[in-house]
């Protein structure tokens, strides 16, 4: 069977690329051996947010009296029910992708796909039989998996990967989380919120190390206040799983420390799924395990492209989706604008939430900019006070010379919903004064963006 485009992988890169290609008139097939929607919809972005919402509701119930609400009985966290709800949400989203495929006349080719020379894709089904397909263009969007370290070899029982942590049958009394990126931070918050004793170990000086330092320090203070033990400048040397509990040997600046815990969650990054997809056979070049591509995601092999976590760049669902759209629009003969990777928002959905885009203060200074920086705390926000969510702040970084918004950094309730304003502002090259004069609705959390801009120019009203 001949297609205009075959996509390997149905995650947020693959399925979005397929739909956009269909809209542009292409005959499209998507190879997927597991559930449609990939890791994001089934084992990542969506089900984890369902778990985090359950934790948030549990916290609301524990603090109901703070809002003048009382109820009989004690709020209890039932992990198995939370997991069931999370899996149901994921299943519903996956069915939604099935509907979109039918609507857009996209063929779902079930099995494991492998690129072959001559613009062919061999697909091996569950029955072990292989069938060849031809395509004018092939996009590799096979995503990534949890990274394995020799001293943190995941067994799914005592040393967990993120997929294991999402479907535990029994809530652990204690847990060590290794790595404080988005995955580690979100699971540390979730399990701590429902009553597990959590220790968070991070090799770098600050947790969520890619974020602005002030944001990192604020989250660390919040976590410590919530009784999460935070160990920065620390590394896990070994884990002894022979006894009833794991004995985790942690190297710190002050020496070695052994921590006992029921389970250990390894959240030390991801590894691209580039094995057994035909890279060697077709001569597709890689670097450090990732597929090398140009600004329109073309590999060195004509007609073969790669997007998402198998390529260099931020391993984020919205990045993969945007790359997929750019890629197929270029294939279709369009003139898409290459991705600006310095204007990609990052979000972490713990509580308080963290969101950012653009330069951190440190990076902006290193780039040689003279800065104007404005901060507005949510403690001065009327909406935040009314919502009982006064923790956190908005920090905006401007180029002092031209007023360009260089970076936005937020920590607080619902800031992952607010960061898009800063992304659009940077895309449109909006200045600080334009942001100040853009009327924001009152009372909203979003007013903090306007106020932070005003603070940078000495015009802040409510602080």
Q: Which residues are catalytic?
A: 442
- The DSSP code sequence of 166-183 is HS-SS--SEEEEE--SHH
What are the residues facing 8 on neighbouring strands?
31, 140
Q: Which helix (H) or strand (E) holds 247?
A: strand 246-252
Whole-number Å distance between alpha carbons of 435 and 342: 20
Whole-number Å distance between alpha carbons of 250 and 235: 6
Query: Within a 13 Å sphere around the CA of 148, how many CA atoms are in the beta-carbon half?
Result: 7
Rounded to the nearest 5 degrees, what angle is found at the Cα of 270, between the Cα atoms of 175 and 34? 100
Whole-number Å distance between alpha carbons of 31 and 101: 12
- In sequence order, the 6+-apart residues with CB closer than 8 A to the CB of 71 are 61, 64
| Strand, coil or helix: 86 | helix
Distances (CA, A) of 412 to 119, 232, 392, 394: 49, 22, 5, 8
Evaluated on CA atoms 271, 32, 161, 196, the torsion sign reads positive
- In sequence order, the 6+-apart residues with CB closer than 8 A to the CB of 199 are 174, 175, 176, 177, 228, 229, 231, 248, 259, 261
Taking the CA atoms of residue 17, residue 20, residue 22 and residue 23 in that order, the dihedral angle to the nearest 10 degrees is: 180
Whole-number Å distance between alpha carbons of 360 and 370: 13
For residues 63 and 28, the answer to whether their CB atoms sit within 8 Å is no
Whole-number Å distance between alpha carbons of 422 and 416: 11
């Amino acid at each position: 069977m001949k297609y205009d485009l075959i996509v390997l992988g149905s995650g947020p890169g693959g399925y979005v690329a397929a739909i956009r290609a269909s809209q542009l008139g292409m005959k499209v097939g998507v190879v997927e051996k597991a559930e449609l929607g990939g890791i994001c919809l089934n084992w990542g972005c969506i089900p984890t947010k369902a778990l985090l919402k359950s934790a948030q509701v549990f916290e609301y119930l524990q603090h109901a009296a703070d809002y003048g609400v009382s109820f009989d009985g004690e709020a209890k966290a039932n992990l198995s029910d939370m997991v069931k709800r999370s899996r149901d949400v994921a299943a519903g989203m996956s069915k939604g992708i099935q509907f979109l495929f039918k609507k857009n006349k996209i063929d779902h080719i079930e099995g494991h796909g492998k690129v072959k020379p001559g613009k062919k894709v061999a697909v091996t089904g569950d029955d072990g039989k292989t069938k060849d397909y031809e395509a004018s263009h092939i996009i590799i969007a096979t995503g990534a998996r949890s990274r394995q370290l020799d001293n943190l070899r995941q067994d799914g029982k005592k040393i967990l990967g993120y997929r294991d942590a999402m479907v535990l049958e029994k809530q652990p009394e204690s847990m060590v989380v290794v790595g404080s990126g988005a995955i580690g931070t979100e699971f540390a918050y979730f399990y701590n919120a429902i009553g597990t004793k959590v220790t968070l170990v991070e090799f770098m000086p600050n947790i969520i190390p890619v974020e602005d330092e002030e944001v990192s320090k604020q989250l660390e203070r919040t976590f410590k206040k919530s009784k999460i033990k935070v160990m920065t400048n620390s590394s896990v040397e070994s884990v002894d799983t022979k006894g009833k509990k794991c004995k985790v040997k942690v190297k710190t600046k002050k020496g070695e420390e052994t921590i006992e815990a029921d389970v250990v969650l390894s959240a030390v990054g991801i590894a691209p799924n580039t094995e057994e997809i035909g890279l060697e056979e077709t001569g597709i070049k890689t670097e450090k395990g990732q597929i090398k591509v140009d600004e329109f995601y073309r590999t060195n092999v004509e007609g073969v492209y790669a997007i998402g976590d198998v390529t260099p760049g931020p391993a984020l669902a919205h990045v993969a989706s945007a790359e997929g759209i750019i890629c197929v629009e270029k294939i279709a003969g369009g003139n898409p604008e290459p991705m600006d990777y310095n204007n990609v928002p990052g979000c972490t959905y713990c509580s308080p939430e963290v969101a950012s885009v653009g330069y951190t203060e440190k990076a902006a200074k290193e780039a040689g900019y003279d800065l104007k920086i404005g901060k507005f705390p949510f403690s001065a926000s009327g909406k935040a006070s009314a919502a009982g969510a006064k923790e956190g702040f908005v920090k905006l970084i401007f180029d002092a010379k031209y007023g360009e918004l260089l970076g936005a950094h937020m920590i607080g309730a619902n800031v992952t919903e607010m960061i898009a304003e800063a992304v659009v502002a940077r895309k449109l090259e909006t200045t600080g004064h334009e942001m100040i004069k853009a009327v924001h609705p009152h009372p909203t959390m979003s007013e903090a963006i306007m106020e932070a801009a005003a603070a940078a120019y000495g015009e802040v009203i409510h602080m």
